[in-house]
Amino acid sequence: MSVKAFAAKLFAKRINAQTQKWANDPVATQEKVLASLLKTAAPTKFGKDHHFSSIKSHADFVQNVPVRDYEGLKPYVDLVVNGEENILWIGKPLYFAKTSGTTSGAKYIPLTAASMPFHIQAARNAILSYIHETGKADFVSGKMIFLQGSPILEEKNGIKLGRLSGIVAHFIPKYLQKNRMPSWETNCIEDWETKVNAIVEETFSEDMTVISGIPSWVQMYFEKLSAKGNKPVGEIFKNFNLFIYGGVNYEPYRAKFENLIGRKVDSIELFPASEGFFAYQDSQMEKGMLLLLNSGIFYEFIKAAEFFTENPRRYTIGEVELNVNYVLIISTNAGLWGYNIGDTVQFTSLKPYRVIVSGRIKHYISAFGEHVIGKEVESALKEAMEGTNIRVNEFTVAPQINPKEGLPYHEWFIEFDSEASEEPNNLEEFALRIDTAMRKQNVYYDDLITGNVLRTVVVTKVRQNGFQEYMKSQGKLGGQNKLPRLTNDRKIADLLASE
């Protein structure tokens, strides 16, 4: 064992003890976080407008601070972007994480001196938690790659801005700098395909032990590596044994990845976002990710089934239940208050509090009242592939409300991995397997099928690299961009169907 690996084990033990302390006292931990946030931000414009100094309880907080999305908070954010101080948080932000996708164009998510360290600590602690549980630490002596956005930053009114992953690249600890890849120059390449090709050339002969990134984009990297070496990634990188990912569910990709790698490797799931680092997988044995209750974020939860009703109840950590779909609401030391990030979660454990990301509150199908969410379609596809050699590169699902003939249905657009696995001999039979799995999970969907409101799902095959080409056509290839697993309209579906 190297000195570096030995030191990592000692550090992991210390961090684990600190984590257990707050994880074993969740309610009091969250109460302290809320009190601290309110006290610090009371002198800000938002704090004064919402009477922070008079808030003494969560009930007071609910009364004074409504739930908002980015559009609702935008009047305050605009003041911050214009360079004003003490608006949402004390002083000015250190950075803006710039993202897209709202009706008003770019989003500017503030990152403050108080919030930034938690983004770095959470990623570090996820790895240390893995080391503490498994005892595996030799990988720290090898090379590590983090597929991310360009670290080149712009500036707006004296505040630097860029993609979150690019900003985080400026905070890599010194003890990882020598091990980290790709090089700064390669990381600065903007075009994703050019960048991946450069990363392949740069890493091909290295001793890569840890690889991290959004699965769909790591898949492209693995495919290019395998093609260059004409062998599985696990033979190219013989000591590669840890994959760290976030952004999307890994399960639909797992079989494909194991085929590309040539063997199974351990994995750690992360739940980061521009708005905060919310959770990480703290155990290889347990399902879900540890919700970070002591990281400058106060969490509230609204049942997804009640979210669009008038004045839905906002639950705190001590009031949540297992296996209920909740919309995640956050208030943070970056100055986001009662903020709906759009993600839905389900709790898999209450001691400690662990979650899975079940989908997006805007990414669902309920054209007929079926309330289908991302977790359900991902699980259904996984079940349909069990016991087969079928592998899937990517997929998305949309309703077909006005078919040319017959009953309406859900249409699944699937890109099969035809190069390294089998494709279904009979698409209708495979569609029925998906449909059966969906009916077991979602009683509303089952009722619609039974009642002849919907017919069973239809699978439409997408040609090889079809989804990559779609994302490229939308200017969203690579980086932190993700394809929605499902939508309640046919904007994506109609583009795919027309090809």
For 331-354, write each residue's pLDDT tens digit.
999 999 999 998 899 999 999 999
Q: What is the mean pLDDT of residues 160-168?
A: 87
For residues 305, 308, 309 and 315, what is the CA-based torsion angle, rounded to 10 degrees?
Answer: 60
pLDDT for res 374: 83
Task: Look at residue 60 and tell me whether its pLDDT is greater than 80.
Answer: yes
Task: Look at residue 141 and tell me whether its pLDDT is greater than 50.
Answer: yes
Confidence of residue 61 (pLDDT cuts 50, 70, 90): very high
Q: What is the mean pLDDT of residues 271-294?
A: 95
- Coil/strand/helix, residue 363: strand
> Closest Cα to residue 328, out of 371, 357, 349, 305?
357
Q: What's the Cα-to-Cα distance from 63 to each of 40, 57, 262, rounded to whole Å?
A: 19, 10, 55
Q: What is the CA radius of gyration of the chain?
A: 23
Task: Look at residue 51 and tell me whether its pLDDT is greater than 70.
Answer: yes
> Closest Cα to residue 225, out of 198, 253, 195, 204?
204
pLDDT for res 176: 65
User: pLDDT digits over 225-255, tens only?
Assistant: 999 999 999 999 999 999 999 877 787 778 8
- Coil/strand/helix, residue 314: coil
Q: Which of 110-114, 142-146, 236-240 has the lowest mean pLDDT?
A: 142-146
Contact indicator for 457, 431 with CB cutoff of 8 Å: yes
pLDDT for res 101: 52
Contacts of 143 (CB under 8 A, 6+ apart): 179, 180, 181, 203, 206, 207, 208, 209, 210
> Closest Cα to residue 381, out of 418, 431, 421?
431
State the average pLDDT for the chain.
Answer: 90
CB atoms within 10 A of CB 227: 11
Q: Which residue is associated with the tokens 């009930």? A: 59
Give yes or no on whether 1-361 and 374-497 have one common fold.
no
Sketch the domain layout of the chain as residue ranges: 1-361, 374-497
Q: Which residue is associated with the tokens 């984009």? A: 217
Count CA atoms closer than 13 A to 61's CA, side-chain side.
24
C-alpha 202 chain-centroid distance: 27
Q: What is the mean pLDDT of residues 387-406?
A: 89
DSSP state of 472: H
pLDDT for res 103: 45
> Closest Cα to residue 328, out of 318, 317, 316, 342?
342
Task: Look at residue 494 and tell me whether its pLDDT is greater than 90.
Answer: no
Q: What is the mean pLDDT of residues 259-269?
A: 94
Please give the Cα distance from 446 to 156 (Å, whole number).
Answer: 51
Please give the Cα distance from 403 to 401 (Å, whole number).
Answer: 6
Q: Which residue has the higher pLDDT, 406 or 294?
A: 294
Confidence of residue 152 (pLDDT cuts 50, 70, 90): confident
Cis bond upstream, residue 352 (ω within 30)? yes
381: left (phi over 0), alpha (psi -120 to 50) or beta: alpha
Q: Which residue has the higher pLDDT, 302 or 493?
A: 302
Task: Look at residue 395 and tell me whether its pLDDT is greater than 80.
Answer: yes
Q: What is the mean pLDDT of residues 205-220?
A: 89
pLDDT for res 102: 43
**Cβ-count burial of 47 within 10 angstroms (0-12 exposed, 13-18 middle, 19+ buried)?**
buried
Q: What is the mean pLDDT of residues 192-220?
A: 90
Greatest mean pLDDT among 160-164, 330-334, 406-410, 445-449: 330-334
- Coil/strand/helix, residue 130: helix
For residues 65, 314, 112 and 475, what is the CA-based torsion angle, rounded to 10 degrees?
Answer: -110
CA angle 471, 476, 479 (to 5 degrees): 120
pLDDT for res 360: 77
Confidence of residue 443 (pLDDT cuts 50, 70, 90): confident
Please give the Cα distance from 45 to 58 (Å, whole number).
Answer: 20
Length of the chain: 499
For residue 465, the one-letter residue type is N
Confidence of residue 79 (pLDDT cuts 50, 70, 90): very high
Contacts of 198 (CB under 8 A, 6+ apart): 182, 186, 189
CATH architecture type of domain 1-361? 3-Layer(aba) Sandwich (3.40)
pLDDT for res 481: 67
For residues 59, 64, 69 and 70, what is the CA-based torsion angle, rounded to 10 degrees?
Answer: -140
pLDDT for res 420: 63
C-alpha 380 chain-centroid distance: 20
Q: What's the Cα-to-Cα distance from 472 to each of 162, 191, 469, rounded to whole Å?
A: 20, 10, 5
CATH architecture type of domain 374-497? 2-Layer Sandwich (3.30)
Interstrand relation of 208-212 and 143-146 (parallel, antiparallel or unpaired) = parallel
Percentage, residues of the chain above pLDDT 70:
96
pLDDT for res 456: 94
pLDDT for res 256: 83
CB atoms within 10 A of CB 324: 16
pLDDT for res 132: 96
User: pLDDT digits over 2-39, tens only?
Assistant: 888 888 899 999 999 999 999 999 999 999 999 999 99
For residues 54, 58, 62 and 68, what is the CA-based torsion angle, rounded to 10 degrees?
Answer: 110
> Closest Cα to residue 303, out of 279, 329, 332?
329
> Closest Cα to residue 392, out of 410, 374, 363, 419?
419
Please give the Cα distance from 252 to 255 (Å, whole number).
Answer: 7
CB atoms within 10 A of CB 104: 9
Please give the Cα distance from 357 to 68 (Å, whole number).
Answer: 20
Confidence of residue 100 (pLDDT cuts 50, 70, 90): low
Task: Look at residue 104 and tell me whether its pLDDT is greater than 60.
Answer: no
Confidence of residue 117 (pLDDT cuts 50, 70, 90): very high
Phi and psi at residue 452, to the nearest 5°:
60, 35
pLDDT for res 482: 75
